[in-house]
Amino acid sequence: MNREEVLELLASLEKGERRAALQGPDGAWHADAEVKEGILFAFRLGVEVESEAGPFWFRDRDTVPPRRDFGPGVRIVPGGSTVRRGAYLGKGVVMMPPSYVNVGAHVDDGTMIDSHALVGSCAQIGKRVHLSAAAQIGGVLEPANARPVIIEDEVFVGGGVGVYEGVLVRKRAVLASGVILTGSTVIFDLVNETEIRGREGEPLAVPEGAVVVPGSRKAPGDFAARNGIALATPVIVKYRDARTDSKTALEWTLRRS
């Protein structure tokens, strides 16, 4: 892939014409390895340059500078937020300062990105998602065929939540403040009395509408028992209902453009 092809790919990502992951008819998500490989080429082909965006100074590859051109209705509130080249922001997206959207990420219409929130490289964020303050949506750029982190439509991500290693969060799920999810995390579903794990070759998937809160379980072994040691674990305490919707209602007034 040459420099011109890389720049064309980044432009198509910014328009939403290409994505780092796609959802098939069966609802399964798959990485587009060609897109991720193109992003890696962007770093290899770029040269280090100094640049400015407002009062901020950068030194980075010239192929992935901060973006300044966005479609109608996108709001980047003053205070230090940055969107990198090759990232897509849909209509009505609001970014509160400071927040960051990395290369290859796709943030769909009507999503709110609150202060100190991160959307990592190639992460896929659905429509009308709320990423609360300090939420960390990890990036998965390598290997190229690895699924990035995916947050589907109308998910509520609470403050300080961390989602990493290709975890999939299905529609309308609620992640309460402080929940941490990785590809190998085990979720205990108290409603259905089951354990939810990733499958071979496919990281963890949070069920649609699940309300996940931080929990704990006893650590194994006599030493842990003697010392009262417990391990943090996410727990599904219910599935989304009207009461949940009222508690996670978004500030639609802030989104109007």
Q: Quick check: 251 pLDDT over 60?
A: no
Q: Which of 22-26, 157-161, 213-217, 252-256 has the lowest mean pLDDT?
A: 252-256
In terms of CATH architecture, what is 3-255? Answer: 3 Solenoid (2.160)
pTM of the model: 0.93
Q: Quick check: 200 pLDDT over 50?
A: yes
Q: Which of 12-26, 121-135, 239-253 has the lowest mean pLDDT?
A: 239-253
At 250, the pLDDT band (50, 70, 90 cuts) reads: low
CB burial readout 153-184, b (16+ within 10 A) else e: bbbbbbbbbbbbbbbbbbbbbbbbeebbbebe
> Looking at residues 180-186, what average pLDDT do you find?
96
> Looking at residues 231-246, what average pLDDT do you find?
90
> Looking at residues 163-170, what average pLDDT do you find?
97
> Looking at residues 153-164, what average pLDDT do you find?
97
> Looking at residues 10-20, what average pLDDT do you find?
98
Instruction: Give the pLDDT of residue 257.
Output: 44
Q: Quick check: 254 pLDDT over 60?
A: no
Instruction: Give the pLDDT of residue 202.
Output: 86
> Looking at residues 175-203, what average pLDDT do you find?
95
Q: Quick check: 183 pLDDT over 70?
A: yes
Going from the C-alpha of 105 to that of each of 47, 85, 125, 242, the distances in angstroms are 22, 10, 8, 31
Sketch the domain layout of the chain as residue ranges.
3-255
Q: Quick check: 91 pLDDT over 90?
A: yes
Q: Which residue has the higher pLDDT, 32 or 241?
A: 32
